[in-house]
Structure 1
Amino acid sequence: MLEITSFEAGRRLRGALVLSGALLALIALTVGLFPSIRETGADLDAYLESLPPEATRAFVGNVTTLTTIEGYLVSQLYQFGWVLLLAIYYAYAAASTVAGEVERGTVGLTLSLPVTRTRFVVGKFLSLVPGAVLVNAITFLGVSLGVALVDESIDTIDLFAVHAYSIAYLLACAGIGLLASVAFDSVRRAQTAGAGAVFGLFLLDTFTFDTDYEWLGDVALSRYFDPGAILVEGEIAWADLSVLLVAVVVLVVVSSEYFERRDLSG
């Protein structure tokens, strides 16, 4: 299993570095605009209050002002970049792990080695962990440096907590992609199903939050990751973090069990 993880993680290293570079560019642009945003903060906060609750929940998060660096980062970087875009990316990436082997016809050769199907699936999933950690480590340093360069200060522990917490969230989203990967023979179908499921759950969370149907959104992983609560209020919802960690385990176990019982002869 560790051999599979090591090999696949090595293959994904370049992708993780490219993704980190793209995010650093986004961070530089976002943080660099903050001084000018702060000067017109009153107007932006008024605009923020005029937005529909659904739009605020989806694209701004649970922040009430953009005039602080914490609220600004949550609304302009973490809520959209981490909660949505990176979540879709990791579901999309995970969806190709097993389905890619099946589609290429190489899964039979791999499974002819002394490795069980469960170890194969778990090894594939674990190969995503180093990349998620690396991306968050690099972007954590990038945000810290960017904030310092614009003469602002931010609680380093809270910032670190956001990135550490997000690893559990992103891996849970990857778990959805993994489940799609073992269910489909086609990479494209698996990727569409995995990424589509994460996006659909995000919309479900957005449109049911603070309504009579809020309980429907409890199945959405985004319901359990609130960057604003961590970065602005300094609060970590340990119960929500536990839900994400349990979701990771359950999704990997279900994916492994399904793949164990799947007929690959076709």
Structure 2
Amino acid sequence: MFELTAYDGRRRVRGSVYLSIGLSVLAAMVVWVYPSFEAEIDLNELLAAYPEPILQVMGVQTMTSLAGFLSFELYTFGWIIMLGLYLAYSTAGTIADDVDRGRMDVLLSMPISRRRLVAERFGAMAVPIVGANLFPPLVVYVGAELIDHPIAAADVLAVHLLSIPYLFACAGIGLLASVIVDRAAIAQRVALGVTFALFLSESLLSGTDAEAVGAIAPMRYYDPNAVLLEGTYDLLGAGILVAMTVALLIASQAWFRRRDV
């Protein structure tokens, strides 16, 4: 039981450690640059210079505090966009790559159902998702203390814990693309395109008559601003992301059971 998850997970450990270190370096750079940024630039004037659509797309509320600066520069770019796209892209190769390279017949010859194969392959994505959130919280918290702009430890921990359901939902988009498309490269492009389109739809349609369309976007249910600036933890949103992930997994299993490989 879970042999495929364990095998795939072990293969992803090293890359996940490198990913976590890279994100930690990014977090350290953002924290380190903030004091000079705050001292040399009128942040309110800078924010006013941004076009309103850009502020809306990036979810910028304020940069006059380290928490607001981190929310914009680190978590919107690093987690919502970059990491979300990476997980969708990476997961899109889990099934499609084996089909593309002719290895799927070997896997299906084993005493394992197609549903279990999809679930176990998807389960291995927990390694990069959790791994990416191992070191950065410590870097952010300690860095904020060192530059004398402390952030509550509970808020730092929460913004990372609540990102996990979001990243699983992005991975679920990649999984669905992986079982629908035979070619791994195409599946990965589809996953990237769909995930980014969902990000844009949620950002641009917010506050308009078509706002309801953005309800299908995982980005609606993960808000670093609410956590870091208001200390608000959206547990309902996290629950919706879990349900969204389960729905994507079930849909992927159902599609893969019926397709000819």
Do both proteins adopt the same fold according to a TM-score greater than 0.5, normalized to the shorter chain?
yes
**Contact 1:121–1:255 (CA<8 Å) still a contact in 2?**
yes
Deviation of the 1:148 alpha carbon: 2.3
1:146 counterpart = 2:105: no
CA distance in 2, matches of 1:144, 1:96: 34
Q: Output the amino acid matched with 1:123.
A: E
Deviation of the 1:49 alpha carbon: 3.0
Deviation of the 1:130 alpha carbon: 2.2
In the alignment, which residue of structure 1 is the partner of 2:163? 166
1:52 counterpart = 2:32: no
Correspondence for 1:103 among 96, 100, 112: 100
Q: Which shows bigger deviation, 90-99 or 145-154?
A: 145-154
**Contact 1:37–1:67 (CA<8 Å) still a contact in 2?**
no
In the alignment, which residue of structure 1 is the partner of 2:180? 183
Q: Secondary structure at the match of 1:25?
A: helix
Deviation of the 1:62 alpha carbon: 4.6
In the alignment, which residue of structure 2 is the partner of 1:34? 34
Q: TM-score, normalised by structure 1?
A: 0.94
**Contact 2:20–2:134 (CA<8 Å) still a contact in 1?**
no
Q: 1:62 to 1:240 in 2, by over 3 A?
A: farther
Q: CA RMSD in A?
A: 1.3
Q: Secondary structure at the match of 2:64?
A: coil
In the alignment, which residue of structure 2 is the partner of 1:22? 22
Which consecutive unaligned segments of at least 5 residues does structure 2 have? none
Q: Output the amino acid matched with 1:118.
A: R
Q: Secondary structure at the match of 2:207?
A: coil
Q: Output the amino acid matched with 1:53.
A: E
Q: TM-score, normalised by structure 2?
A: 0.96
In the alignment, which residue of structure 1 is the partner of 2:86? 89
- Paired positions, count: 261
Deviation of the 1:80 alpha carbon: 1.4
